[in-house]
Amino acid sequence: MTKLDISENQVKIVYLGVGSNLGNKVNNIEKAKSYLLENNVNFLSVSSYYETPSWPDQNNPKFINIVIKASSKLKPIELLRLCKLIEVKLGRKKSIRNSPRECDIDILDFNGLNLKGKLNLPHKMMHKRNFVLFPLFEIEKKWVHPIIKKNIKQLIYLLPNNDIRSIKQI
């Protein structure tokens, strides 16, 4: 008989960034939320919608983004696979990095885990992105970056002024 690692079946707290800058952006995000819920990713809180210019090419359509705090029994790679499957279901195709897309789902933080490889946790650029930090602050004011050890307010203060001015809650 194999001894099960009890921690494998425990619920983990995850933070997901969901965004869209093609098609009906809000509808795309709502569909992504439905697919997550159908797959036992249970929401604890969901931010408002935030609009930002597309990066790195501001000539592309603006993005709408949210951050979700959720609980899940999925392992990190299983959650990554689910996120990629949902992106494809909503019309995402292989294309140039940072090109416009119907749906983008990033695992921002997975129970404070630090991983490198196929999946990097926490998300390696999250601490520099206004469209992650502002919605995350809205739903989790006490969040602290697991590696940098700075709280969410400190990270927001480190953003360039243009990033602070260019985001709007909608």
> Which CATH number characterizes residue 145's domain?
3.30.70.560
Residue 128 lies in a domain: yes
| Span 59-105, pLDDT tens digits | 999 999 999 999 999 999 999 999 999 999 999 887 777 788 999 99
Q: In total, how many domains does the chain have?
A: 1
User: Is residue 2, in this structure, part of any structural domain at all?
Assistant: no
116, part of any domain:
yes
Q: Which of 148, 123, 105, 86 is nearest to 17 (CA)?
A: 105
Specify if 50 maps to a domain.
Answer: yes
Q: Is 167 helix (H, G, I), strand (E, B) or coil?
A: coil
Q: Does residue 156 sit in helix, strand or coil?
A: helix
Domain that holds residue 102: 12-169
pLDDT band at 7 (very low <50, low <70, confident <90, very high): low
pTM beyond 0.85, yes or no = yes
Kindly state whether residue 32 falls inside one of the protein's structural domains: yes
Cis peptide before 122 (omega within 30 of 0): yes
Q: Is residue 149 part of a domain?
A: yes
**What is the tens place of the pLDDT at every residue in 133-163?**
999 999 999 999 999 999 999 999 999 999 9
